[in-house]
Structure 1
Amino acid sequence: MREQESAVVPEGFEIVPEGFGFIDVLQPLYRRVEGDSVSFGLVVQEQHCNSMGICHGAVLMTLADVVAASGVNHACGVLAGNPTLNIAVDFISAAQRGQWIQGDAEQVSLKRRFGFASGTVYDGARGIVARFNGTIYLPGHDGVDKSGRRDSPLGSPPG
Structure 2
Amino acid sequence: MSETEDDNPPEDFILSTSRGPYTTHNGPFFHKVTANGFVHGVRVKKRHCNSRGITHGGMLMAFADGLLGTAVWRETQTVALTVRMNSDFLSSARPGEWLEGTARVTRATRSVAFCEAELYVGSRPVLKATGVFKLMPRHKNIG
Q: Same fold (TM over 0.5)?
A: yes
Quick check: 1:104 aligned with 2:102? yes
Counterpart selection for 2:7 from 5, 8, 11: 5
Quick check: 1:16 aligned with 2:13? no
Counterpart selection for 1:130 from 117, 127, 130: 127
Q: Deviations over 1:19-73 (max 9, x none)?
A: 7221124311111222451221101001111111111001100000000010010
TM-score by length of 1: 0.78
8 Å contact kept, 1:31–1:39: yes
TM-score by length of 2: 0.86
C-alpha distance in 1 between matches for 2:24 and 2:107:
27
Report the CA distance between 1:3 and its aligned residue: 6.5
5 Å-filtered alignment, 1:42-81, equals 42-78=42-78, 81=79
C-alpha distance in 2 between matches for 1:19 and 1:102:
16
8 Å contact kept, 1:26–1:63: no
8 Å contact kept, 2:112–2:134: yes
Quick check: 1:82 aligned with 2:75? no
Q: Which amino acid aligns with 2:136?
A: P
SS in 1 for 2:59: helix
Q: Deviations over 1:76-96 (max 9, x none)?
A: 135xx4211011110000211
Q: Which amino acid aligns with 1:128?
A: P
SS in 2 for 1:109: strand
SS in 2 for 1:98: coil
C-alpha distance in 2 between matches for 1:20 and 1:140:
19
Report the CA distance between 1:107 and its aligned residue: 4.7
Q: For residues 35 and 77 of structure 1, do their structure 2 counterparts lie closer, same or farther at Cα, with a shift above 3 Å needed? A: farther
Q: For residue 157 of structure 1, what is the aligned residue in structure 2?
A: none
**Structure with greater strand percent:** 2
Q: Which amino acid aligns with 2:98?
A: W
CA-based RMSD: 2.1
Runs of 4+ in 1 over 6 A off after TM superposition: none
Quote the sequence identity (%). Answer: 26
